[in-house]
């Protein structure tokens, strides 16, 4: 399982298998940087993936095939990711050891930090800091059953899972490409998908804290459906601003109630981060995922958290000329495709330890 870094770009593409949709992004790398070759999105029924588990493999596999076909992608090498409570990320201090000794040291240390049986997980790590006598390592563990479940869906679609990453790191990849100068402050990258909220706090090009919690856009949709007594599908369309005979004013009480719950969830994450960080303070929040597009959410959360909040702009450093998308379309698509684009930047063997 390869997890970190960026490298030269062979013929891979990003495949984001989300709870509500499949998204793909194919990039090409030239002398001037990256260009968008293709992208596509195919929605999934709500019961296809539940709590991060693929409950209807055939439906998911068919959606993957359709999305790849829709984008016109011919490469078979997909870069995929997982998220949720089956993964854990920890920053661990270690005494300085040689490269040869590091793998054994990581295995011993993992037994103290990973709440899963070691033989049930894939382990990976990245050295993110060193002094004369010590080193700081980001340790990652993901349950094998979760990874193999997603890899099986990809392979059943006739593709190869060339790299398996975490959603949180994919978000970091695209952020660092598009905002490379932001290394002087800790930035919380928060991707709020349909079912899971992924937080990755980055500073100086390294992840210093990551946490996933089961909270997402479906919380908003469920609240709307319950308050107005309408089906989930109609509530989802109304949430997205579609004309379905529901006024926005009728949605506001449900949206505000769930946004307060969201704010509390993020505060718990920040409190947990504060308990693990010596002196770091989050200076800015960057939102991605479908919830980042909710009207007024940036202002609401900025007021609640007391720090600037902005939307992710994953396409800002990408040449999108051939895609024939307007600036408004790129702004609208950006938060939704942040994970897929971050995956599209990955390539096999690009990790360096």
Q: What is the CATH number of the domain that holds 150?
A: 3.30.420.40
Q: Same structural domain for residues 170 and 55?
A: yes
Q: Residue 197: what pLDDT?
A: 95
Q: Residue 351: what pLDDT?
A: 63
Q: Same structural domain for residues 162 and 67?
A: yes
* Rg of the chain over all Cα atoms, to the nearest angstrom: 20
Q: Which of 29, 248, 54 is nearest to 154 (CA)?
A: 54
Q: Same structural domain for residues 40 and 156?
A: yes
**Residues contacting 142, CB < 8 A, separation 6+:** 1, 82, 86, 87, 88, 121, 122, 164, 166
pTM confidence score: 0.92
Number of alpha carbons in the 13 Å side-chain half-sphere of residue 120: 11
Domain extent at residue 273: 181-311
How far apart, in whole angstroms, are the C-alpha atoms of residue 77 and residue 348? 9
How far apart, in whole angstroms, are the C-alpha atoms of residue 171 and residue 191? 8
Tell me how long the chain is: 353
Q: Same structural domain for residues 153 and 208?
A: no
What is the CA angle 171-14-70, rounded to 5?
Answer: 130
Q: Same structural domain for residues 55 and 174?
A: yes
**Residues contacting 200, CB < 8 A, separation 6+:** 168, 169, 171, 172, 188, 189, 207, 209, 210
Report the domain count for the chain: 2
- Classify residue 348 by its DSSP letter: T
Q: Same structural domain for residues 37 and 165?
A: yes
Q: Same structural domain for residues 303 and 264?
A: yes
Does a structural domain hold residue 101?
A: no
Q: Same structural domain for residues 212 and 289?
A: yes
Q: Same structural domain for residues 298 and 324?
A: no
How far apart, in whole angstroms, are the C-alpha atoms of residue 287 and residue 296? 13
- pLDDT digit string (tens) for the chain, length 353 residues: 445 433 445 689 999 999 999 999 999 998 889 999 999 999 999 999 998 999 999 999 999 999 999 999 999 999 999 999 899 998 888 999 988 899 899 988 888 888 899 999 999 998 888 888 999 888 999 999 999 999 999 999 999 999 999 999 999 999 999 887 666 789 999 999 999 999 999 988 888 899 999 999 999 999 999 999 999 999 999 998 899 999 999 999 999 999 999 999 999 999 988 887 766 789 999 999 999 999 889 998 899 888 999 999 999 999 998 888 888 999 999 999 999 999 999 988 776 43
How far apart, in whole angstroms, are the C-alpha atoms of residue 95 and residue 130? 9
Q: Same structural domain for residues 185 and 307?
A: yes
Q: Same structural domain for residues 208 and 264?
A: yes
CB 210 within 8 A of CB 223: no
Does a structural domain hold residue 334?
A: yes
- List b or e across 2-12, with b for residues whose CB sees 16 or more CB atoms inside 10 angstroms: bbbbeeebeeb
Q: Same structural domain for residues 303 and 331?
A: no
């Amino acid at each position: 399982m390869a997890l970190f870094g960026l490298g030269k770009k062979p013929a891979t593409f990003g495949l984001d298998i989300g709870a509500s949709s499949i998204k793909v992004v194919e990039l090409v790398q030239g002398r001037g940087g990256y260009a968008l070759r293709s992208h596509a999105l195919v929605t999934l029924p709500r019961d296809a993936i539940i709590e991060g588990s693929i409950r209807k493999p055939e439906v998911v596999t068919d959606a993957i095939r359709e999305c790849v076909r829709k984008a016109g992608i011919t490469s078979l090498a997909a870069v995929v990711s997982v998220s949720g409570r089956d993964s854990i990320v920890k920053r661990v201090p270690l005494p300085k050891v040689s490269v040869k000794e590091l793998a054994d040291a990581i295995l011993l240390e993992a037994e103290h930090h990973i709440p899963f049986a070691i033989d049930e997980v894939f382990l990976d790590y990245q050295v993110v800091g060193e002094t004369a006598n010590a080193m700081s390592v980001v340790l990652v563990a993901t349950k094998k059953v979760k990874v193999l479940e997603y890899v099986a869906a990809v392979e059943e679609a006739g593709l190869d899972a060339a790299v398996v990453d975490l959603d949180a790191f994919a978000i970091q990849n695209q952020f660092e490409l598009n905002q490379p100068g932001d290394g002087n402050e800790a930035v919380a990258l928060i991707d709020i998908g349909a079912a899971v909220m992924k937080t990755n706090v980055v500073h100086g090009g390294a992840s210093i804290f990551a946490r996933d919690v089961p909270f997402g856009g479906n919380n908003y949709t469920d609240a709307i459906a319950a308050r107005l007594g309408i089906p989930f599908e109609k509530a989802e369309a109304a949430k997205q601003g579609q004309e379905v005979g529901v006024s926005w004013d009728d949605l506001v009480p449900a949206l505000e109630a769930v946004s307060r719950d969201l704010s509390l969830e993020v505060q718990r994450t920040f409190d947990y981060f504060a308990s693990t960080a010596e002196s770091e303070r989050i200076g800015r929040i960057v939102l991605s995922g479908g919830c980042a597009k909710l009207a007024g959410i940036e202002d609401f959360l900025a007021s609640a958290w007391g720090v600037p909040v902005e939307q992710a702009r994953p396409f800002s450093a990408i040449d999108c000329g051939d895609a024939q998308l307007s600036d408004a379309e790129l702004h609208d698509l950006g938060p939704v495709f942040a994970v897929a684009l971050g995956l599209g930047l990955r390539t096999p063997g690009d990790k360096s330890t």
